[in-house]
Structure 1
Amino acid sequence: MSWHRKPFCGFDLETSGIDPETDRIVTASAVRYGGGSPTTGRSWLANPGVEIPEDATGVHGVTSAHAQEHGRPPAVVVEEITTVLAAAVTEGVPIVAMNAQFDLTMLDREARRHGVRPLVDRVTPRVLDPRVLDKRVDRYRKGGRTLTDLCQHYVVQLDDAHTAQADAIAACAVTWKIGARYRWLSRLDLDALHHEQIEWAREQAEGLRAYFARTEGKTEWAAGVRLEWPLIPAPRTGGPW
């Protein structure tokens, strides 16, 4: 049976900012999607321990006051998220994450920050990233490549965009649609597809880096484009990294 007809573990984070090295998890969701069963999931709200900037609140709707009153300790939240994802991987279920490099790196750094054993130290996940897949199968399509854009292109309903659970479900649905539409992709086994995405993501990042480098006003952005996928390795601090 093709990978797109088996269960997915959709994963999404909403955060205090866009730098996984310094910003924090605010909300998270992990969903079980597909495989002929109803979608189920679990969501979390953390008290990140830092102020949530207004720009971030404008995206996901969570204020600092709300997180402080209703959020749980970040170490507990990160431990629970990591445990859920590790259990899915142990079952052979792939993690589906839109722009996985960001979400998985953010989770990794939060784990290290709070003394939680990181996901990559527990299991070796297989990841499906609809952003990487879409850029591979339809490289020259004009227009944006956000999750909202992909949902419009692949005719996937997205209600409550930028809530973690809605985005996790939508990422799974888009990934399913890509697998169903591009049969050559669905014929790859999961291990092969994961490793292909490593190369595709690198090629895509190299293209973005080159674009920034030659575009006036964006040249300084080139150095910030990382080539690793699905996770940027943690900086070496004398530990295993």
Structure 2
Amino acid sequence: MDDTNAARWADTLAVFDLETTGIDVDSCRIVTAHVGVLGASGEVLERREWIVDPGVEIPTAASLIHGITTERARLEGQPAPTAVAEIVAALADVAMRGLPIVAYNASYDLTLLEREAVRYSIAPLPGPGPVIDPLVIDKAVDRYRRGKRTLTATAEHYGVALPNAHDAGADAVAAGRVAQAIARAHPQLAAIAVADLHARQVDWCREQAESYQAWRRANGEPEFTTSGAWPVR
């Protein structure tokens, strides 16, 4: 990748992704995880990956997405308390090194990790921050673009390859490269200190949630609510 005009916060990034048993952050469990580091050209400098035995059945619908069955998780996975502690420690390490943590739809992954830590009496990830969420940033800087905002669709829009979607490692690396591509495409982001960018995402996510809630209520769901809390709900 050409890193011309890349923001300084995008020069070296930590990347993070989870694959899980479902979509509810309060009840679902981690199945796979990736914590890595990317260099300025998107090259992978470091990577750690986990397969986790979540201690519960993995629904078939989830297995069809990420490819990990209950049987495989039991055979190959680490016990959930051990894995969760290691994932939290790995993220705390990159944060201590001053690296922003990139996660696509960060409020899902970081909230679920926080819930898992509490479940196993593990100290949650401090902060966390600074966090870079390409989903929140992309919606803020290109608000009216039509089409989906999935990682696959957003990666395609920014010219980032994602050959193995829903693999935690592939998704984490793609999210980091999308963040770097956004920084190149929107040079105004280069002038924002990463702590300030984190703070702006708190506001952007709240505004986006409020707008989506209003749209759903205006289109036949008057009781619909959604949380705009970020990066942990």
Question: Structure 2 length normalisation: TM-score?
Answer: 0.94
2:111 aligned with 1:110, yes or no? no
Residues in 2 aligned to 1:17 and 1:36: alpha-carbon distance in whole angstroms = 33
SS in 2 for 1:28: strand
Return the offset for 1:6: 2.2
Contact (CA 8 Å) 1:4, 1:180: kept in 2 or not? no
Contact (CA 8 Å) 2:9, 2:193: kept in 1 or not? no
Residues in 2 aligned to 1:147 and 1:37: alpha-carbon distance in whole angstroms = 16
Return the offset for 1:91: 1.0
Q: Which amino acid in 2 is paired with 1:194? A: H
Q: Which residue of 2 aligns with 1:239?
A: none
SS in 2 for 1:51: coil
Q: 1:93 aligns with which of 85, 90, 99?
A: 99
Q: Which residue of 1 aligns with 2:131?
A: 127
Matches within 5 A, 1:43-192: 43-120=49-126, 123-192=127-196
Residues in 2 aligned to 1:150 and 1:4: alpha-carbon distance in whole angstroms = 20
Cα deviation digits, residues 5-59 of structure 1 (max 9, x gap): 4211100000000001000000000110124684121100000011111111111
Q: Which amino acid in 2 is paired with 1:13? A: L
Q: Which amino acid in 1 is paired with 2:131? A: V
Cα deviation digits, residues 168-200 of structure 1 (max 9, x gap): 000000000000110111110001100001000
Q: Which amino acid in 2 is paired with 1:228? A: A
Share of identical aligned residues, percent? 42
Return the offset for 1:214: 1.5
Residues in 1 aligned to 2:8 and 2:92: alpha-carbon distance in whole angstroms = 19
2:42 aligned with 1:41, yes or no? no
Contact (CA 8 Å) 1:2, 1:189: kept in 2 or not? no
Moved over 6 A (4+): none
Q: Which residue of 2 aligns with 1:197?
A: 201
Q: Which amino acid in 2 is paired with 1:15? A: T
Matched pairs, number: 227
Residues in 1 aligned to 2:52 and 2:10: alpha-carbon distance in whole angstroms = 33
Question: Structure 1 length normalisation: TM-score?
Answer: 0.91
2:233 aligned with 1:229, yes or no? no
SS in 2 for 1:80: helix
Contact (CA 8 Å) 1:79, 1:116: kept in 2 or not? yes
Q: 1:53 to 1:179 in 2, by over 3 A?
A: same
Q: 1:3 aligns with which of 3, 8, 25?
A: 8
Contact (CA 8 Å) 1:4, 1:179: kept in 2 or not? no
State which drifts further: 35-44 or 167-176: 35-44
2:213 aligned with 1:209, yes or no? yes
